[in-house]
Amino acid sequence: MIKEGDIVELLPTDNRNRQLRSQEKKYDWKVLKIDTPQCLAGRLGYFIKHIGSPHTRWVTADDIKINEFRENTYDVC
Residue 70 confidence (pLDDT): 72
Residue 69 confidence (pLDDT): 77
Return the sign of the alpha-carbon dihedral for residues 46, 71, 69, 20. Answer: positive
Rg of the chain's alpha carbons, rounded to an integer? 13
The pLDDT averaged over each successive group of 10 residues in the chain (77 residues) is 93 97 96 96 97 96 89 56
Q: Helices marked H in 1-77 — which ranges?
A: 15-22
Helix, strand or coil, per DSSP, at residue 40: helix
pTM for this model (two decimals): 0.86
Domain boundaries, the chain: 7-68
Helix, strand or coil, per DSSP, at residue 26: coil
